[in-house]
Amino acid sequence: MAGAARGELSTPEVADQLRALGVQLGGVLLVHTSFRAVRPVEGGPAGLIRALQAALGPDGTLVMLSSAADDDVPFDPATMAVTPDLGVVADTFWRLPGVMRSDHPFAFAAAGAQAAQITADPLPLPPHIPESPVGRVYDLNGQVLLLGVGHDVNTTVHLAELLFGVPYAVPRYCTVLQGGRPVRVDYLENDHCTERFALVEAWLQERGLQREGPVGHARARLMRARDVVDGALALLAGDPLVFLHPSSAACVQCDAARSSVNAPRVGT
């Protein structure tokens, strides 16, 4: 109800919602969330993280994006805040005791049984190759939880783009330490506005592969990473540019990706 105060849900209530949705006990769970949609819950962002870990149990693994915003300075996993668009839950998670974080600017953070395996890879270029945290979640048959956010933030679709071999890639760079000195590293990334990742939702829904329900006060969507990849690969097989806006939409980011298709590649 618009304007109505929302009651605070307790940690056990949120954990029950997560179990009812289908979060797998002992599994690997990659969470994308907007706390604004979820709140209020007991304990704030840290309380939501406790509820996620309670639903996963002691043998489970909780995973979140944990990348930093600044392309111009080397990443420091011990001190650097996450990029603001990842939200307060992601920025709370990596600071908690026992949480591991990748040692590169496209970092993910993870806690639990598989955390070391998920965060161990060196700098992945481009960021969502199979030898990256999102690739490891896929390898481990993990689940993806979109909690108060849509498929536009579903990073696993970027993995599928690379597995497919999409023909677009735009120039990006990051800065890493080499021999104690900052060095700029240029690379090409399958990047664009990602709005059309929403097409994966219908593919999953038509096949009963997306669970939906409330978590906190948010709408939650739960799916297997493997099903996300299967759906994205099926869509790409029909049209390799399916995730780019058409030229008529005048989307600056998708147009940049589109115009890269026939451009010569750096280093080739």
Cβ 18 vs Cβ 55: under 8 Å: yes
Cβ 232 vs Cβ 160: under 8 Å: yes
Question: Which C-beta is closer to Zn ion: that of 224 or that of 258?
Answer: 258
Give, as one character, the DSSP assignment of residue 186. Answer: E
CB of 132 to Zn ion, least distance (A): 23
- In sequence order, which residues have a C-beta less than 8 Å from that of residue 167 and are 6 or more positions away? 240, 241, 261
**Of the residues 245, 257, 258, 260, which one makes contact with Zn ion according to CB under 5 A:** 245
Q: Which residue, among 58, 29, 34, has the nearest Cα to 45 in the 3D structure? A: 34
Tokens of 147: 């909690």
CB of 143 to Zn ion, least distance (A): 27
CB of 236 to Zn ion, least distance (A): 16
Question: Which C-beta is closer to Zn ion: that of 125 or that of 241?
Answer: 241
How many C-alpha atoms does 8 have within 13 Å on its Cβ side?
A: 10
CB of 253 to Zn ion, least distance (A): 5
**212 phi and psi, to 5 degrees?**
-135, 145
Question: Which C-beta is closer to Zn ion: that of 116 or that of 261?
Answer: 261
Question: Which C-beta is closer to Zn ion: that of 43 or that of 240?
Answer: 240
Question: Which C-beta is closer to Zn ion: that of 80 or that of 193?
Answer: 193
Residues 152-211 within binding reach of Zn ion (CB under 5 A): 193
CA distance 155 to 96: 23
Instruction: Give the three-state DSSP class for 163.
Output: helix
Question: Which C-beta is closer to Zn ion: that of 85 or that of 206?
Answer: 85
Binding span for Zn ion by CB under 5 A among 46-54, 89-97, 221-229, 249-257: 249-257
**Of the residues 29, 62, 254, 257, which one makes contact with Zn ion according to CB under 5 A:** 254
CB of 169 to Zn ion, least distance (A): 15
Q: Which residue, among 97, 128, 170, has the nearest Cα to 30 in the 3D structure? A: 128
Question: Which C-beta is closer to Zn ion: that of 113 or that of 256?
Answer: 256
CB of 82 to Zn ion, least distance (A): 24
Number of residues located near Zn ion, criterion CB under 5 A: 4
Cβ 169 vs Cβ 265: under 8 Å: yes
CB of 252 to Zn ion, least distance (A): 8
Total Cβ atoms within 10 A of residue 238: 7
Question: Which C-beta is closer to Zn ion: that of 102 or that of 190?
Answer: 190
Binding span for Zn ion by CB under 5 A among 67-75, 143-151, 220-228, 247-255: 247-255
Total Cβ atoms within 10 A of residue 120: 14
Q: Please give the C-alpha separations between residue 239 and each of 171, 202, 234, in angstroms, as whole numbers.
A: 23, 16, 9
**Of the residues 30, 174, 228, 251, which one makes contact with Zn ion according to CB under 5 A:** 251
CB of 258 to Zn ion, least distance (A): 9
Name the H helices within 120-196.
Answer: 133-139, 156-164
Binding site for Zn ion (CB under 5 A): 193, 245, 251, 254
